[in-house]
Structure 1
């Protein structure tokens, strides 16, 4: 399969706002943005200014809803431990929903900041997605020196 990299890159260079407007059509929005880019907001501007989406829904839930529940969503292959495991979209959804419920029971709410201190294992992905599901922001750390 030939790469489309040069074609895609050229489209982005030619008209970044149109490029990202088209890309935005590929995700599900809670509130679809009416303005793609505002150069006046901050040093680098702001994309999708009035749009709201949930990264967890776009990464997991919509695939389950659209018939991909049994397809692989995450493949874990650790060169350190030799562990290998595959998770379907449905398995990911079940893990994320359960962890989000635990976090909610512990008081995590939209707008909170959560630090995840875990090795690079599937459960770290589940934790990040659970936070996104609740609207919490994530700081991920692999060791205490990065906190």
Structure 2
């Protein structure tokens, strides 16, 4: 095998991963998963449940939102692809800023009410949830403003 063919295969693989999207009908499945998980998360507040339920529901909510994010639009053209790319970029930047600033805000507010407040980060669910929410909202807004 020569270097050229290995590089071409790698480039081809990266291009496939870059263009990966689910069929449009998966968007409905993502909504069903997300809304069901969200409803169950609310319902579990009123019921005594085992400790494994919260992480499972959190994971299902993230999976549902990811499916929505990865599903194609009914009309998927280069313009929609550009808007999707912009929304991912904006979401990434905003989540980085959120991850840097939010613990400091929590710490400052906590110090106002409790002298023993410690600086804490937050868990992966908060970061991923915020990223997916921001990406979806920015994408929907970009589509709406650019019709």
- TM-score (norm. length: structure 2): 0.29
Higher helix share: 2
Q: Which has the larger radius of gyration?
A: 2
Q: TM-score, normalised by structure 1?
A: 0.29
Answer 1 or 2: which has greater strand percent: 1
Higher RCO structure (Cα 8 Å, ≥6 apart): 2
